[in-house]
Amino acid sequence: MSEFPITESMDSAASEVLRSVFGYAAFRGHQADIVARVASGGDALVLMPTGGGKSLCYQVPAILRQQAGHGVTIVVSPLIALMHDQVGALQELGVAAAFLNSSQDMQEAQEVERALVASELTLLYVAPERLATPRMLALLDRVHARGRLSLFAIDEAHCVSQWGHDFRPEYRSLLGVCQRYAQVPRMGLTATADAITREDMVRQLGLDHAQAFVSSFDRPNIRYTIVEKRDAMAQLLRFIDHEHRDDSGHDCGIVYCQSRRRVEEVAEQLQRHGLNALPYHAGLAADTRRAHQDQFLREEQMIMVATIAFGMGIDKPNVRFVAHLDMPKNMEGYYQETGRCARDGEPGNAWMTYGLQDVVNQRRMIDDSPAADAYKQVMRDKLDALLAMAESATCRRVRILAYFGEDSQACGNCDNCLNPPAQFDATESARKLLSCIYRVQQASGLAFGAGHLMDILRGKRTEKVVQHQHDQLSTFGIGADTSEVQWRALMRQLIAREAIRVDATQFNTLHLDHAARAILKGQSEVWLKHSERVSKRQAQRSTADTQLSDPQAQAIYEALKTWRAQVAKEHGLPAYLIFHDATLKAMAQDPPQTSGDLHRINGMGEKKREAYGSAVLRVVHATLG
């Protein structure tokens, strides 16, 4: 192994690269330790939340190791969009980076291959299925033979695990590649992994000697809110209007829906409501998908309505909200999707509506899948963790972090913390519901769905009730005082607790499950939230983008944004690849007057200073008058 000791001079070399190339003043969290470990030839496993700054963890070592004569770093990444973005950003910074993927024509690919063999590259991004091809391996063999294969960085490393939520079979070929170049240092990076997925990554990627760096998964700037689904569309519009829209327009956001059809509908309704929205799902033509994605990346005010086909590798930093109109499959999915909001560290909203039907649908999808039973059980447990979080009356964040093995205190930035819901003891109602399910089944030898059971409990003589003589049951009408909304909430909770099982193979009928017994026997309590919150939360915009406190700063900020939009258009790049909002804000708040002043702006590396420094100064001077 090309291990060389971690020295002070290397630490300072790393800081120098961070400053001069990326324009950042200091490493964050574990970055410095990870960079030191990897730059010195050690293996690493990096678990860091989205927006935590994983890219720098391999980009800085790649530059350092290239400078030290070790050659090229191979970055394995599953998504083409991500590669384009990252390579574009690196080239903007003056780093020799390239990618190889199916979007290129033969000539482009050959030019990249030539640069690889000629040792001209610092970073090469490759899709996993491409890496294991004979052609690619032959190229790598040549590079390796000359000692110029420096590092493998495997991004989204959880994709290798079938216990993860994102299994990609093509990741399985990576172990073979790693074994072929056993002496080359490697690192795995992911934003989400529970204990079994983590073990799997270590085994499947040969990371036995890797030092693990586990960051806190907390995203304190994201506010979690989960509301009961009534009229999801109306609820969504109200949410956007209240929190993400003002006279000057609306924020950038993502709305996730379960089905393609729903995506189309919702996008259309948002458009009709005057919002700049586009659909994205796997059923659209590849060209359309690409165009919509590009538009999302480039435009400041854009809402993408999408299935989960959209998002992996999307690192637009100023997505201000992620809304779920349907519940994700599990906690990892929820965490990952909501994690796409507010990567810039400014406030953002993760907002979800969910209802009984979501619970039923998700359970059914697991039950209906052709997977092995053991796998289904793991998926059920993962879904249950999410359900329990959604049903919880206490801090959401505490629940989310606990799932990833972290202890924490009530956060003060989720709906339950900001507006503690009043709870009431619903044990009695739960027992009525459970015994109703039991009696109906006994009396008619048949099971029934939620709607019919509610009719019985609420004492409604519907045709079906009369036909089955369910108005004769002792449970008929015993729950007339409880509203339908409350019955639904109760059913959700009892399903989440496995007191009720939904049989999807028989028209979503409800059956008693193993946890019913303790509730019926009075050994276990059921508490419900009042469906109306005690105090109405003040509509509070979390928008980071709006106003700076000082009018002069605001004027400079606006002027810089206009300038940036122009440059972005000329270069055909998303605006944030020119400068992040945070960098523009820093300049607006403490305007640089001379080129010397540009050095203290966070986010202004050497290349950017060269390319844009004088233009920035012109804009500032013009605004200051």
List of residues contacting Zn ion (CB under 5 A): 395, 397, 411, 414, 417
CA–centroid distance for 592 within its chain: 36
d(CA 62, CA 64) in angstroms, rounded, equals: 6
Q: Which partner from the list Zn ion, ligand ADP, none does 414 bind, CB cut-off 5 to 8 Å by kind?
A: Zn ion
Q: Name the DSSP letter for residue 47.
A: E
330 Cβ neighbours under 8 A, 6+ residues apart: 165, 379, 382, 383, 385, 386
Taking CB under 6 A as the criterion, which residues in 338-367 touch ligand ADP? 343
Return the one option of Zn ion, ligand ADP, none that residue 317 interacts with (CB less than 5 to 8 A, by type): ligand ADP
Question: Which residues share a beta bridge with 510?
Answer: 502
Of residues 148 and 343, the one with the C-beta less far from ligand ADP: 343
From the CB of 308, what's the least distance to ligand ADP, in Å?
A: 17
Q: Nearest approach, Cβ of 417 to Zn ion (angstroms)?
A: 3
Which one of ligand ADP, Zn ion, none is in contact with 28 (Cβ closer than 5 to 8 A by kind)? Answer: ligand ADP
> How near is the Cβ of 601 to ligand ADP at its closest, in Å?
12
Categorise residue 335: left if φ over 0, alpha if ψ from -120 to 50, beta otherwise.
alpha
Residue 5: exposure state from Cβ atoms within 10 A (0-12, 13-18, ≥19): exposed
Q: What is the closest distance, in whole angstroms, from the C-beta atom of residue 589 to Zn ion in the complex?
A: 30
Max Cα distance, the chain (Å): 87
Are 75 and 126 within 8 A, CB to CB?
yes
24 binds ligand ADP (CB under 6 A): yes
* Distance of closest approach, residue 208 Cβ to Zn ion, in angstroms: 38
Build a one-symbol-per-residue string for 580-599: x at contacts with ligand ADP by CB under 6 A, - elsewhere.
Answer: x-------------------
Residue nearer to ligand ADP on the CB measure, 52 or 206: 52
CA 32 to chain centre: 24
What are the tokens at 118? 């000629």
Among 28, 242, 600, 618, binds ligand ADP (CB under 6 A): 28
**Residue with smaller CB distance to ligand ADP, 27 or 476:** 27
Q: Please identify, among the stretches 26-34, 110-118, 372-380, 463-471, the one whose residues bind ligand ADP according to the rule CB under 6 A.
A: 26-34
Report the C-alpha gap between 501 and 138 in whole angstroms.
Answer: 54
What does each C-alpha distance from 154 to 171, 182, 339, 344 come to in angstroms? Answer: 9, 15, 20, 23
**In whole angstroms, what is the distance from residue 86 CA to residue 83 CA?**
5
Q: Which of residues 309-328 bind ligand ADP (CB under 6 A)?
A: 315, 317
Number of residues located near ligand ADP, criterion CB under 6 A: 16
- Among Zn ion, ligand ADP, none, the one that 315 touches (CB under a kind-dependent 5 to 8 A) is ligand ADP
Report the chain's terminal Cα–Cα distance, integer Å: 59
* Distance from C-alpha of 481 to C-alpha of 497, rounded to nearest angstrom: 24
Q: Please state at what angle helix 31-39 crosses helix 8-17, rounded to 10 degrees.
A: 110
Backbone angles phi, psi at 414, to 5 degrees: -135, 165
Residue among 366, 363, 499, 347 at smallest CA distance from 431: 499
Least distance CB 128 / ligand ADP (angstroms) = 17
Q: Residue 615 CB, nearest distance to ligand ADP (Å)?
A: 21
CB of residue 55 vs ligand ADP: minimum separation in angstroms? 3
Alpha carbon distance 304, 253 (integer Å): 6
For ligand ADP, give the closer residue by CB, 27 or 448: 27
Site for ligand ADP in 43-82 (CB under 6 A): 48, 50-56
Q: Residue 584 CB, nearest distance to ligand ADP (Å)?
A: 13
Q: Which is nearer to ligand ADP, 254 or 266 (CB)?
A: 254
Per CB under 6 A, the list member of 17, 27, 125, 411 interacting with ligand ADP is 27
Q: Which does 417 bind (CB under 5 to 8 A by kind): Zn ion, ligand ADP, none?
A: Zn ion
With CB under 5 to 8 Å by kind, the binding choice for 48 among ligand ADP, Zn ion, none is ligand ADP
Which positions touch ligand ADP (CB under 6 A)?
Answer: 24, 27-28, 31, 48, 50-56, 315, 317, 343, 580
